Structure 1
C-alpha cells in the first residue's frame, strides 16, 4: 500500500463543491467523493463547525485528513466533518461571529477571503487493495470520534442495497421515523441506529449475515416493508398512542414481539381496558412492561412488587421461622416471602397475603 502526504489548498478542495444529499457530495473539481458509503452523515454541531472555520481563518493547523485513490478520483476516508464545514462556509450556507460581527464568507474583505482560499490542508493519500484500505480505515478511526458498529458494517457491505436502505432509515427525518414511529423508537437515523435496529429485528440479530446476503440487491424493499408491517401491527393492537402512552411504549422491542406474536389474536378493545387497569395497579413497579405483558402474558415484564425486608421480618416472626408448607424450621436467609393469593388473582403485597416458605417449597410452588 502506498501512502503519500500532499498539501491541498482550500481553493482546490472547494472547487466544484456540490451537495446532492442522498446522491452524494463532491469537491476537488468533482474528483473527491466527500461522502462515500462508509461515511456517516454530517453530524458536527454548530460550535464544532464554527471552530473549523476559526482554525482556518487564523491559519492554525487542522488535523491531517485521509483520502483514498478510487481510479482517477478520490474518496474521503477521514475528515468529512471538517471538509463539509469548510465547503459549506465558502458556499455561503452559514456565518460565524468574527470580532463581534456575524460574517459569511462573502462578507469578508477580499484579502481575508484569499487567505482562507490559500490555506493548505495536509492530506494523506492512500492507494492499495480494498482490504488494505479498510484496515487503514479501522486504524485511523480509533483516533477520531469512533464509528458505531453499524457505521463500520456500512463500510464493509457497500452497494446498491445499502444506498437504498440509507434512503429509508439513515437520513434526518427519514421515512422510518415518520408517521408517529419516532415516538416508539429510540435511536438517531444519521448515526445508523434506526437502520441497525431494523436489521437486528429482521435478521434475528444476524445483521452481518443479512447484509452480506443482500449486499448486491438493487433495493432494500424487504427491510422497509418489514418495518412498516411491524408498526402497522403495533397500531392495530394499540391504537391509542397519546404522549402519556408513548412514554411507556418508546424503545420496546416491537420487532421481536411482532416476529413471535404477530399471529396471536389480540383484541384492541380488550387490550385497552386491560392497559387502563394495569396503569392504575400499584403492584406494578415497571409500567413500561405493561405493553410487553399484554402481548406475551409474561408477568416478569411488570416487575411486580415484592415483600420488603420489614414485611419479611414480620412474616418470619409470626411463623416462628417455620415454613408454611413443610413445617420445618429455617433461618431467615433460607426462606422466601411468598404471596398466598397471586397477583393474577387479585392478591396484594400486604402482610395478610404473605407467607414464608423455604427455598425448596417456594421452588416447588413456582414450578406448578
Structure 2
C-alpha cells in the first residue's frame, strides 16, 4: 500500500462539512467521506471533543490521520475515505459549526465567539494526513490495527471494518442507534452495552448465528452481500416480543437472561404468564437462590444449577463430617474430609434449607449420583 504524508489546514477539512447523522458525514469540499461504512460511530463525548480543540489552539500536535485515496467515478477528481481520524475530524468540524464551546482565557467560547486571531489560528492549523492508496483488503487490514486517539477498537468494530456491505449498513440501522430500533425495543430485556460501539449488534448476531469470534465472522461473511438485514431483525424482534409477553413485570435481572435459547425451545409451548410470574416472585424472595437472573431459565427448564443455590460453608461441612465420624451414610465407607462434599438431607426442591442440621457429608461418588 502506498502512503504519502500531506499537511491539510483545518479550513480545508471543514469546507463543505455536512453531518447527516447515520446517513453519512462529508467534508473537505465534499471529497472526504468522514464516516465510511466500515467506520465506528462517533463516540467522543464533549470533554474529548473539547480536548481536541484545546490541543489545536495551544499549537500542540494531533495524532496523524489516514485517508484512503481513490477517484470519483463521475468527475475523475480525487476522493477520500477516512481510515483513521473520524473522531478528531468530527470534533473539529462540529466546533467550527458551533455545536459546543471550549474554555479560552477562562471563559467558554464557541467558534464564532473566538477572537479573529484565534479563529485564524485554528483554521490555519496543519493536520498531518497520510493519503493511502491500495486494494480494499490492504486498507481494511491497515484499519484493523489502528487505535483512534487511544480508544481501542472493539471486536465488533473491527469485524465491521472487514465485512462491509449492504447487509451491515442495514443491520447498523437497526442495532447501532441508541434509543431507536433494537435498543428502544429491548433495553429492559437485554444488557445492550454501548450501542454506538456495536455491542448490541454483536449480541444480535450471537443470538442468530452463534457465540464466539469465529461464529460471528462466519455469519457476517455469509450475509455480507444480502440486500438487507431483515432476517436478524425479525428474529431479534420475535425473541423480545415473546419475552415481554411471558415475563411482563420489569426487573433488572431480565437484562441478563439468554432469551434466544429459551425462545428457540419454548416459543410454541402453552405457557401461563400469570403462573410463571407467581413462581418468579416467590423465588426472588428465596434467600437460598443466589443467582436471581437464573430464575427465568429455571421456571421454564427446571434446571436448578441456573439458580446458583446457596452451598454449605466449610465450617458446616466440617461439623457434619465430625458428626458422622467420616462415614458416608450412602455407602457406609470411611473417607477423608477432602474426599467428601456437603449435601442437603432434605433437598431444596422440598423446602430444605442450607443449614447445619440439614447438612450431610457424602463421598464424592455418592454425592454426584445423588444429584
TM-score normalised by length of structure 2? 0.93
Deviations 1:290-333, CA, capped at 9 Å, x for gaps: 11212221100111122212221221122111110111111111
TM-score normalised by length of structure 1? 0.94
1:263 aligns with 2:263: no
3-state SS of the aligned residue for 1:355?
strand
1:81 aligns with 2:87: yes
Map 1:60-209 → 2, pairs under 5 A:
60-71=60-71, 72-141=78-147, 144-179=150-185, 181-186=186-191, 187-205=193-211, 206-209=215-218
Q: Distance in 1 between matches of 2:258 and 2:70?
A: 41
Match for residue 316 of structure 1? 321
Q: 1:283 aligns with which of 246, 266, 288?
A: 288
The Cα of 1:35 is off from its aligned counterpart by: 0.5
The unaligned stretches of length 5 or more in structure 1 are: none
Does the aligned pair in 2 maintain the 1:261–1:296 contact within 8 Å?
no
Does the aligned pair in 2 maintain the 1:62–1:121 contact within 8 Å?
yes
3-state SS of the aligned residue for 2:67?
strand
Q: Distance in 2 between matches of 1:108 and 1:358?
A: 79
Deviation larger for 105-114 or 257-266 = 257-266
Change (3 A) 1:324 1:299: same
3-state SS of the aligned residue for 1:3?
strand
Match for residue 222 of structure 1? 231
Q: Distance in 2 between matches of 1:271 and 1:317?
A: 42
Q: 1:296 aligns with which of 298, 301, 306?
A: 301
Match for residue 360 of structure 1? 365
Does the aligned pair in 2 maintain the 1:67–1:126 contact within 8 Å?
yes
1:211 aligns with 2:226: no
Change (3 A) 1:143 1:114: closer
Q: Distance in 1 between matches of 2:92 and 2:369?
A: 69
Q: Distance in 2 between matches of 1:182 and 1:317?
A: 51
The Cα of 1:266 is off from its aligned counterpart by: 2.4
Change (3 A) 1:142 1:135: farther
Q: 1:237 aligns with which of 230, 242, 246?
A: 246
The unaligned stretches of length 5 or more in structure 2 are: 72-77
1:328 aligns with 2:337: no
TM superposition outliers: structure 1 runs of 4+ over 6 Å = none
Does the aligned pair in 1 maintain the 2:194–2:200 contact within 8 Å?
yes
Give RMSD over aligned pairs. 1.5
Match for residue 306 of structure 1? 311
Map 1:238-253 → 2, pairs under 5 A:
238-241=247-250, 245=251, 247-253=252-258
1:6 aligns with 2:12: no
Match for residue 75 of structure 2? none
Does the aligned pair in 1 maintain the 2:87–2:148 contact within 8 Å?
no
The Cα of 1:121 is off from its aligned counterpart by: 0.5
Does the aligned pair in 1 maintain the 2:84–2:148 contact within 8 Å?
no
Does the aligned pair in 2 maintain the 1:68–1:75 contact within 8 Å?
yes
Does the aligned pair in 1 maintain the 2:167–2:226 contact within 8 Å?
yes
Deviations 1:49-87, CA, capped at 9 Å, x for gaps: 101111111222111111011323100111111100100
The Cα of 1:208 is off from its aligned counterpart by: 1.4
